[in-house]
């Protein structure tokens, strides 16, 4: 033996293998273990799925009560036929895991504040935020409630969990989803708690906006003073077209929330200036998490049967939040979009009834300011006495680093989210407890379970009456001809402005005085006008006896656009409804452009600015993909906005809430001498709208000339809509999609946000339905089904959804594969 060469060579070999088996740091990210990642028998190559793969399979599962047949159609949508409901949910769990495992695992990790565990200390601020907000606490409340009181839901979620785990247990290491290999970690077994965490995340996504907005709005009010604040953030929306038509008479409220006597001085007028300590806060949920839904009655359709439409607007991601599925058992037959992570169909239809949801936008999250006795934070002042907290320990594991422990004081209100240990620029050193309906043990999964089985209006009302958070506008239509919409959730009976800002928390004076009874939530069934609709606008006019919240929570113009179109339509077909869902008319600009032109002094414009204004005035007011006029209009409007109120908001060390567009537009329409138009920084001159519009146009022109040079004036090039992979890695995303639409447009597609599932259901016998989402049924970036619907979606096209009984589906030309689940 040549010992020295042997040792030298062995050391080099071991060294190389070690390096190739280690994650190396590249900037703030880490490389995969390169040897493992590139190994064709272990690494990413194993995820490169064969085009034209055969998905036929036979699976033995001892957990099943009977055999289950799954047929996959040409879009890889599974049609599950089971003899027992629980078996169907077992198989749904199995299929979610088979096609979307990494995403389910990742999203529940985010929700439970466990990102640092896989990504390192870099993600600690996100984890701490979710832990302190009470996400895990909320999921635990739900789990305890369902386990104790709801055997049917427990059995459903347990069956789903067993299905996910049956897939996980047979999963070979080399077949792990791509992202695990890239980021070098492994999945863990599913639990019911993860399902509840996922639903908590949806509550956060749809109501968590207040978690940031309430702080920012408080700081904005304090900075401006209440009087100026009231001008810029008015709750009066002159052009509101509410969900429940204006003029509807409401019954007397059963709760009369009483505004505390000292609220004007102690709450609304109060200003505080506290020391700042600046740390990063995670991105709040998108304010535009909204949606459209509507149903037209048979009186307005060609066939005489209702048509229901639903398109939830959410962050556009790959793998998609949605996964299409048909579930057929002896108790029901349902088709629609499901959440990987939860059993049942979330938005869809069965053979008698279709339903859809939009976000209600009501405020269900409030902050209460605490006074702790001392730095131990063991006692806080409450109702005239020092009161003990309980401490909730949240242990955050951090990759390559020591655990971080959050010791969260739990109070009458809920967790003390902000305290001496946790602050962000907007919390400004305050001790703040958060009270949120999402953490109060909702059993939301049951609503969908019941909607999946609902046959008529009464079933629908019963199903949604269980729904607490996030508040939604549930629309429904039946084959028997009923249409209805109801805003449902656990909504706080508020006095005006209650909870818009941080409230005093030293006693119960400012506490919630009750939850509005379900029967008093805004509802309408079979209205004379022949349709029901919602687009996140305020649900009612001012005659509704409860306070709905700040107007900025309720986008105004999409609702106007939907209703305007629906009123004018008759003899409606599903194709007409598809055209409406993808409609790009800009009703905001239709009002705002004449308002701008009213004040614009054209003769004073520079030649370039005049040319841009001509581009804007020649525009057809449609946000088409190739339109340049909309880009010009948008940038001019934004510049005018900054010119009008940029001066009032300037000088704040932290970002303030931006006033809404409708405030400026309503003022431009009625008052040419609005005091806000004056630039308060110019002492010798009083500016008016004429000055500010001309200034805005000139400022916009500078930006527009740059865009023109870069050839980015066309709307879709400027907007650059993308569907981002959950890791935000561009290579796994679809960038720069050719699509129009935008803010305030029915086709609400902005840069990374928009119609995440488009569905049109014609309530004929047997159901005629169309739909798609911007993604694909497979979550595997190495599959041709990963993004297979994206181009079709961007083009505004639809797939006919296959919804058939087993014998017919089996023989359908679009049915491609068969997965048999056999009980052992």
Partner 1 sequence: MKIIISILLTALLAYAVGIYGNLPWWCFVLTNLLVAIAIPQKSIHSFLVGFISIGLLWTLLAIGIDQGNNHLLSIKVANILPLKGSYVSLIVLTGFIGALVGGLASLTGSFVRSK
Place of tokens 């510049």: 639
Residue 25 interacts with partner 1 (CB under 8 A): yes or no:
no
Q: Cβ distance 722 to 737 under 8 Å?
A: yes
**Site residues (CB under 8 A) for partner 1, limited to 379-438:** none
Which DSSP letter does residue 545 get? Answer: S
Smallest distance, partner 1 to C-beta of residue 731, A: 4
Residue 35 interacts with partner 1 (CB under 8 A): yes or no:
yes
Binding partner 1 (rule: CB under 8 A), the pick from 36, 381, 495, 817 is 36
Residue 50 interacts with partner 1 (CB under 8 A): yes or no:
yes
Residue 49 interacts with partner 1 (CB under 8 A): yes or no:
yes
The 3-class SS string of 653-665 reads: CCCCCCCCHHHHH
Residue 204 interacts with partner 1 (CB under 8 A): yes or no:
no
Site map (CB under 8 A) of partner 1, residues 253-282, x = contact = ------------------------------
| Spatial distance between the Cα atoms of 169 and 188, rounded to a whole number of angstroms | 10
Residue 187 interacts with partner 1 (CB under 8 A): yes or no:
no
Q: Cβ distance 381 to 342 under 8 Å?
A: no
Residue 54 burial (CB < 10 Å; 0-12/13-18/19+)? exposed
| Spatial distance between the Cα atoms of 737 and 306, rounded to a whole number of angstroms | 33
**What residues contact residue 14 under an 8 Å CB cut-off, 6+ apart?**
none
Residue 17 interacts with partner 1 (CB under 8 A): yes or no:
yes
Residue 689 interacts with partner 1 (CB under 8 A): yes or no:
no
End-to-end CA distance of the chain: 56
Residue 5 interacts with partner 1 (CB under 8 A): yes or no:
yes
- Here the tokens at position 210 are 């207040």
Residue 24 interacts with partner 1 (CB under 8 A): yes or no:
no
> In 10 A of CB 650, how many CB atoms?
12
Residues paired with 761 in a beta bridge: 308, 769
Residue 27 interacts with partner 1 (CB under 8 A): yes or no:
no
| Spatial distance between the Cα atoms of 814 and 752, rounded to a whole number of angstroms | 32
Residue 182 interacts with partner 1 (CB under 8 A): yes or no:
yes
Interface region with partner 1, contact rule CB under 8 A, candidates 1-9, 80-88, 238-246, 792-800: 1-9
Residues paired with 358 in a beta bridge: 473
Residue 6 interacts with partner 1 (CB under 8 A): yes or no:
yes
Site map (CB under 8 A) of partner 1, residues 114-153, x = contact = ----------------------------------------
Report which secondary-structure segment, H or E, holds 110.
helix 85-111
Which DSSP letter does residue 603 get? Answer: G
Residue 41 interacts with partner 1 (CB under 8 A): yes or no:
yes
| Spatial distance between the Cα atoms of 716 and 739, rounded to a whole number of angstroms | 6
Residue 17 burial (CB < 10 Å; 0-12/13-18/19+)? exposed
| Spatial distance between the Cα atoms of 787 and 722, rounded to a whole number of angstroms | 12
Residue 735 interacts with partner 1 (CB under 8 A): yes or no:
no
**Site residues (CB under 8 A) for partner 1, limited to 556-585:** none
Q: Cβ distance 510 to 501 under 8 Å?
A: no
**Site residues (CB under 8 A) for partner 1, limited to 766-785:** 781-784
In the sheet that holds 721-725, the strands lie side by side as 317-318, 721-725, 734-737
Q: Is the dihedral of CA 386, 391, 392, 398 positive or negative?
A: positive
Interface region with partner 1, contact rule CB under 8 A, candidates 5-13, 296-304, 350-358, 377-385: 5-13
Task: Return the C-alpha torsion angle 621, 625, 629, 632, nearest 10.
Answer: 120
Interface region with partner 1, contact rule CB under 8 A, candidates 33-41, 203-211, 613-621, 667-675: 33-41
Residue 71 interacts with partner 1 (CB under 8 A): yes or no:
no
Q: Cβ distance 391 to 137 under 8 Å?
A: no
- 34/404 with CB nearer partner 1: 34
- 650/735 with CB nearer partner 1: 735
| Spatial distance between the Cα atoms of 303 and 292, rounded to a whole number of angstroms | 23
- 303/727 with CB nearer partner 1: 727
Residue 51 interacts with partner 1 (CB under 8 A): yes or no:
yes
Interface region with partner 1, contact rule CB under 8 A, candidates 172-180, 214-222, 283-291, 528-536: 172-180
Residue 460 interacts with partner 1 (CB under 8 A): yes or no:
no
Binding partner 1 (rule: CB under 8 A), the pick from 130, 178, 335, 588 is 178
Q: Cβ distance 260 to 510 under 8 Å?
A: yes
Q: Cβ distance 340 to 776 under 8 Å?
A: no
Residue 602 interacts with partner 1 (CB under 8 A): yes or no:
no
**Site residues (CB under 8 A) for partner 1, limited to 279-298:** none
Q: Identify whether 368 is preceded by a cis peptide bond (ω within 30 of 0).
A: no
Residue 55 interacts with partner 1 (CB under 8 A): yes or no:
no
- 16/60 with CB nearer partner 1: 16
Smallest distance, partner 1 to C-beta of residue 799, A: 21
> In 10 A of CB 302, how many CB atoms?
15
Smallest distance, partner 1 to C-beta of residue 12, A: 6
Residue 730 interacts with partner 1 (CB under 8 A): yes or no:
yes
Smallest distance, partner 1 to C-beta of residue 779, A: 13
Residue 731 interacts with partner 1 (CB under 8 A): yes or no:
yes
Residues paired with 59 in a beta bridge: 821
Residue 555 interacts with partner 1 (CB under 8 A): yes or no:
no
Number of chain residues interacting with partner 1 (CB under 8 A):
45
- 51/283 with CB nearer partner 1: 51
- 528/731 with CB nearer partner 1: 731
| Spatial distance between the Cα atoms of 411 and 506, rounded to a whole number of angstroms | 11
Binding partner 1 (rule: CB under 8 A), the pick from 54, 175, 374, 813 is 175
The separation between CA 623 and the C-alpha centre of its own chain, rounded to angstroms, equals 23
- 1/249 with CB nearer partner 1: 1
Residue 44 interacts with partner 1 (CB under 8 A): yes or no:
yes
| Spatial distance between the Cα atoms of 823 and 63, rounded to a whole number of angstroms | 7
| Spatial distance between the Cα atoms of 354 and 454, rounded to a whole number of angstroms | 9
Residue 34 interacts with partner 1 (CB under 8 A): yes or no:
yes
In the sheet that holds 483-488, the strands lie side by side as 57-60, 815-822, 68-73, 78-82, 323-329, 332-338, 347-350, 353-359, 472-478, 483-488, 523-525
The half-sphere exposure of 348 on its side-chain side, counting CA atoms within 13 A, is: 31
Site map (CB under 8 A) of partner 1, residues 783-822, x = contact = xx-x------------------------------------
- Here the tokens at position 764 are 């004929």
- 42/455 with CB nearer partner 1: 42
760 three-class SS: strand
- 253/782 with CB nearer partner 1: 782
Q: Cβ distance 166 to 75 under 8 Å?
A: no
Binding partner 1 (rule: CB under 8 A), the pick from 23, 30, 43, 544 is 43
Binding partner 1 (rule: CB under 8 A), the pick from 22, 45, 230, 529 is 45
Interface region with partner 1, contact rule CB under 8 A, candidates 4-12, 183-191, 192-200, 483-491: 4-12
Binding partner 1 (rule: CB under 8 A), the pick from 40, 151, 304, 738 is 40
- 120/781 with CB nearer partner 1: 781
- 172/528 with CB nearer partner 1: 172
Report which secondary-structure segment, H or E, holds 523.
strand 523-525
- 281/729 with CB nearer partner 1: 729
Residue 714 interacts with partner 1 (CB under 8 A): yes or no:
no
Smallest distance, partner 1 to C-beta of residue 698, A: 41
- Which residues contribute to the site for partner 1 (CB under 8 A)? 1-3, 5-6, 9-10, 12-13, 16-17, 20-21, 34-36, 38-51, 172-175, 178, 182, 729-732, 781-784, 786
């Amino acid at each position: 033996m040549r010992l020295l060469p042997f040792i030298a060579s062995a050391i080099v070999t071991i060294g190389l293998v070690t390096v190739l088996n280690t994650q190396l740091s590249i900037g703030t990210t880490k490389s995969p273990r390169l040897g493992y990642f590139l190994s064709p028998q272990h690494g990413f190559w194993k995820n490169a799925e064969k085009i034209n793969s055969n998905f036929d399979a036979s699976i033995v599962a001892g957990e099943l009560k009977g055999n289950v047949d799954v047929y996959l159609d040409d879009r890889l949508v599974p049609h599950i036929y089971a003899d027992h409901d629980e078996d169907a949910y077992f198989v749904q769990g199995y299929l979610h895991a088979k096609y979307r495992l990494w995403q389910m695992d990742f999203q529940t990790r985010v929700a439970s504040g466990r990102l640092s565990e896989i990504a390192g200390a870099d993600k600690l601020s996100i984890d701490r935020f979710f832990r302190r907000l009470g996400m895990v606490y909320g999921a635990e409340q739900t789990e305890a409630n369902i386990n104790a009181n709801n055997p049917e839901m427990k059995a459903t979620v347990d069956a789903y969990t067993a299905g996910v785990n049956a897939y996980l247990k047979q999963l070979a290491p080399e077949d792990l989803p791509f992202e695990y290999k890239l980021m070098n970690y492994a999945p863990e077994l599913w639990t019911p708690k993860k399902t509840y965490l996922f639903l908590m995340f949806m509550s956060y996504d749809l109501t968590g906006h207040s978690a940031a907005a309430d702080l920012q709005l408080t700081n904005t009010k304090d900075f401006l003073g209440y009087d100026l604040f009231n001008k810029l953030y008015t709750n009066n929306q002159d052009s509101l077209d509410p969900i429940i038509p204006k003029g509807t008479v409401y019954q007397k409220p059963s709760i009369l929330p009483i505004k505390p006597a000292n609220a004007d001085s102690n709450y609304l007028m109060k200003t505080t200036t506290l020391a700042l300590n600046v740390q990063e806060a995670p991105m709040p949920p998108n304010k535009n998490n909204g949606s459209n839904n509507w149903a037209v009655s048979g009186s307005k359709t060609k066939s005489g049967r209702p048509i229901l439409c639903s398109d939830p607007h959410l962050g556009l991601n790959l793998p998609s939040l949605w996964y299409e599925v048909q579930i057929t058992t002896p108790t029901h037959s349902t088709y629609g979009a499901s959440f990987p992570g939860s059993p049942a169909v979330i938005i869809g239809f069965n053979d008698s009834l279709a339903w859809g949801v939009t976000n209600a936008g009501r405020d269900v999250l409030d902050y209460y300011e605490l006074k702790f006795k001392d730095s131990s934070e063991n006692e806080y002042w409450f109702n005239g006495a020092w009161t003990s907290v309980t401490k909730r320990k949240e242990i955050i594991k951090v990759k390559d680093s020591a655990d971080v422990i959050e010791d969260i004081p739990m109070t009458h209100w809920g967790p003390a989210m902000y305290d001496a240990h946790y602050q962000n620029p907007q919390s400004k050193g305050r001790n703040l407890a958060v009270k949120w309906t999402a953490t109060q043990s909702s059993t939301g999964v049951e609503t969908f379970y019941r909607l999946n089985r609902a046959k008529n209006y009464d079933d629908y009302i019963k199903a949604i009456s269980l729904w607490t958070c996030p508040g939604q506008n549930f629309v429904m239509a039946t084959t028997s001809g009923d249409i209805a919409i109801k805003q449902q959730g656990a909504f706080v009976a508020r006095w005006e402005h209650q909870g818009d800002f941080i409230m005093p928390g030293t006693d119960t004076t400012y506490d919630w005085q009750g939850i509005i009874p379900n029967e008093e939530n805004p509802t309408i069934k079979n209205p004379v006008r022949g349709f029901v609709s919602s687009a996140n606008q305020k649900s009612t006019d001012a005659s509704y006896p409860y306070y709905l919240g700040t107007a900025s929570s309720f986008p105004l113009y999409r609702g106007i656009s939907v209703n305007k179109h629906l009123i004018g339509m008759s003899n409606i077909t599903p194709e007409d409804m598809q055209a409406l869902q993808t409609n790009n008319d800009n009703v905001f600009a239709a009002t705002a452009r004449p308002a701008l032109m009213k004040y614009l002094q054209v003769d004073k414009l520079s030649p370039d600015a005049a040319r841009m204004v001509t581009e804007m005035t020649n525009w057809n007011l449609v946000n088409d993909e190739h339109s340049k006029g909309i880009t010009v209009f948008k940038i001019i409007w934004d510049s005018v906005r900054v010119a009008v109120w940029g001066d009032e908001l300037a000088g704040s060390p932290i970002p303030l809430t931006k006033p809404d567009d409708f405030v400026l537009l309503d003022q431009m329409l009625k008052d040419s001498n609005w005091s806000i138009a004056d630039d308060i920084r110019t002492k010798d001159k009083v500016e008016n709208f004429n000055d500010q519009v001309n200034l805005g146009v000139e400022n916009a022109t500078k930006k527009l000339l740059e865009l023109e040079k870069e050839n980015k004036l066309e709307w879709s090039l400027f907007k650059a809509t993308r569907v981002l992979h959950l890791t935000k890695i561009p290579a796994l995303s679809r960038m720069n999609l050719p699509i129009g639409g935008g803010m305030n447009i029915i086709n609400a597609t902005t840069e990374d946000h928009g119609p995440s599932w488009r569905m049109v259901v014609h309530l004929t016998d047997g159901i005629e339905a169309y739909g798609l989402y911007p993604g694909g049924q497979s979550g595997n970036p190495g599959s041709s089904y990963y993004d297979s619907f994206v181009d079709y979606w961007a083009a505004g096209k639809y797939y006919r959804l296959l919804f058939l009984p087993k014998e017919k589906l089996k023989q359908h030309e679009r049915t491609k594969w068969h997965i048999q689940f056999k009980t052992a």
